[in-house]
Amino acid sequence: MKQKTIRSEVRFSGVGLHTGNKVEAVIKPAGIDNGINFIRKDLNPPAKIEANIEYVYDVVRGTALKKDGFEVYTVEHILAACAGLGIFNVDIEINSNEFPVGDGSAEPFVKLFEEVGIVELEKEQEVYEVNEVIEISNKDTFIVIKPDKEFKISFTIDYDHPVINSQFKELVINEDTFKKEIMFARTFGFYKDFEKLKNLNKAGGSSLENTIGLDEEKVLNKEGLRAEDEFVRHKMLDLIGDLCLIGVPIKAHVIAIKVGHAVNVEIARKIVAKIKSDKAAKNALDIQQIRNIIPHRYPFLLVDKIIEQEDDVYCVGIKNVTANEEYFNGHFPVRSVMPGVLIIEALAQLSGVFMMSKGEHKGKLPFFVGIDKVRFRKPVVPGDVLRLEVRLKKLKGSMGRVEGFASVDGKLVASGDLMFSIVDA
């Protein structure tokens, strides 16, 4: 599957469901790896808020994002439209702090995208295939993500209301099923909650034109429901929109019971953490691969393996300290203690592996040029497993700086900042 965007920009106007603000939105095509971004054009300069789970800050009756003090409310319906069609590269410009609600579903946005056309970009779309069970349970709410070869949702809701009662829907989610079964389902609310929500600065733009309204016994909208189980379908729509904040499509079976935005977002955070963990583990290196990257050799090669790393972020390695280390013959031979300078050297070598495994630096050499803020806290002795971690603080041209930590059994034994220069071999 290729990455997708829209062929040309589309415009949409309306009111914000919660703020009641009149909003003009322009959704523009974007290139490879752009992602989905909300851009507040009413601000000077305009503020960009990425559709990223990291920026979720409010999940009361909708999902809102906040970055650098600026918010965008009710993003889940437009994100569901994007995810339902496989579109993960667009810029969404708005002139207020909430995306317009339309009719309370994703259908108006899907139709706009189809009118201008959807185009493929020249790069494969990353898809995360869930490889282990992830779940959240809390009293009577429950969500579990199970490995699957497709994206499937099984959703159950249960309301003490004669129109809704218990509803269950299970679907494999793809473009076809999203358009036929999900996109038209509208948000809903109870008249008895309306004043309470207004006191929370919510539902300020809600009306029977964009919400299914219910009193104690019936649906208040003259046209009635679009499907008898429209309520559970909309809950699935919300879930699809919230999971879009992961940043990539997933292959998984999502089983959800009586959950809303808060739980949707919490499980999305867990999936993102698992994606990061999996990517870091894929970058593990054995001793032979380390030898192919840095020139150090026994007895001065002080990193045995790399257990995880993330480009431009961090790297973690292991040094097994044994009684056969050459330096123990002369350094406190009666009571063997690993020299502190060699712990720092091990961190420096880890930094070298971290930087030299990057494509633009392969074949070059790292030179250790300075240290700062070094502290030694506990002795390291034979039998210890030294966990080494470096985190990139700065990299400009051929000069870099990392923050290093060495620990044994979870306890910090040494730390400090290391500066290095990357030179041609």
End residue of a domain, out of 279, 309, 339: 279
Nearest residue to 271 (alpha-carbon basis) of 133, 172, 72: 133
What CATH number should be reported for the domain holding residue 223? 3.30.1700.10
**Given the residues 18, 77, 234, 261, the one annotated as active site:** 261
Query: What pLDDT is attached to residue 396?
Result: 81
User: Each residue of 277-304: pLDDT tens digit?
Assistant: 888 888 889 999 999 988 899 999 999 9
Q: Is 331 a catalytic residue?
A: yes
End residue of a domain, out of 259, 279, 299: 279
Task: Verify that 297 and 227 share a domain, yes or no.
Answer: no
C-alpha–C-alpha distance, residues 344 and 173, integer Å: 51
Cβ atoms of residues 63 and 241 within 8 Å = yes
CA-angle at 310, arms to 306 and 314, nearest 5°? 75
Task: Verify that 9 and 111 share a domain, yes or no.
Answer: yes
Helix, strand or coil for residue 267? helix
Taking the CA atoms of 104, 171, 144 and 214 in sequence, report the sign of the dihedral they define: positive
Q: DSSP assignment, residue 211? A: S
Task: Verify that 343 and 371 share a domain, yes or no.
Answer: yes
What CATH number should be reported for the domain holding residue 389? 3.10.129.10
Q: Can you give the pLDDT of all 425 residues of the chain as single tens digits?
A: 899 999 999 999 999 999 999 999 999 999 999 999 999 999 999 999 999 999 999 999 999 999 999 999 999 999 999 999 999 999 999 999 999 999 999 999 999 999 999 999 999 999 999 999 999 998 889 999 999 999 999 999 999 999 999 999 999 999 999 999 999 999 999 999 888 888 888 889 999 999 999 999 999 999 999 999 999 999 999 999 999 999 999 999 999 999 999 999 999 999 999 998 888 888 889 999 999 988 899 999 999 999 988 888 899 999 999 999 999 988 878 889 999 999 999 999 999 898 887 666 777 777 888 999 999 999 999 999 999 999 999 888 778 899 999 999 999 999 999 998 888 76
Nearest residue to 65 (alpha-carbon basis) of 89, 102, 97, 90: 97
How many beta carbons lie within 10 A of that of residue 208, not counting itself?
A: 13
C-alpha–C-alpha distance, residues 425 and 232, integer Å: 62
The two three-digit tokens of residue 183, written as one number:
């996109």
Task: Verify that 219 and 344 share a domain, yes or no.
Answer: no
Distance of CA 343 to the CA centre of its chain: 34
Task: Verify that 135 and 260 share a domain, yes or no.
Answer: yes
Count of positions (residues) in the chain: 425
Task: Verify that 109 and 138 share a domain, yes or no.
Answer: no
Task: Verify that 271 and 375 share a domain, yes or no.
Answer: no
Task: Verify that 196 and 256 share a domain, yes or no.
Answer: yes
C-alpha–C-alpha distance, residues 16 and 205, integer Å: 6
Distance of CA 178 to the CA centre of its chain: 23
Task: Verify that 370 and 395 share a domain, yes or no.
Answer: yes
Query: What pLDDT is attached to residue 358?
Result: 65
> In the block, which residue shows the tokens 């070059």?
364
Helix, strand or coil for residue 425? coil
Give the DSSP letter string of 148-163. -SSEEEEEEEE-SSTT
* pTM score above 0.75: yes
Q: Is 261 a catalytic residue?
A: yes
Task: Verify that 54 and 139 share a domain, yes or no.
Answer: no
End residue of a domain, out of 77, 96, 124: 124
Task: Verify that 259 and 138 share a domain, yes or no.
Answer: yes
Query: What pLDDT is attached to residue 425?
Result: 66
In a 13 Å sphere around the CA of 322, the CA atoms on its Cβ side amount to 8
C-alpha–C-alpha distance, residues 234 and 229, integer Å: 9
Nearest residue to 118 (alpha-carbon basis) of 93, 149, 85: 85
C-alpha–C-alpha distance, residues 119 and 33, integer Å: 14
> How many domains are contained in the chain?
3
- For residue 331, the enclosing domain spans 287-424
C-alpha–C-alpha distance, residues 145 and 126, integer Å: 19
Task: Verify that 180 and 44 share a domain, yes or no.
Answer: no
C-alpha–C-alpha distance, residues 209 and 70, integer Å: 28
What CATH number should be reported for the domain holding residue 28? 3.30.230.20
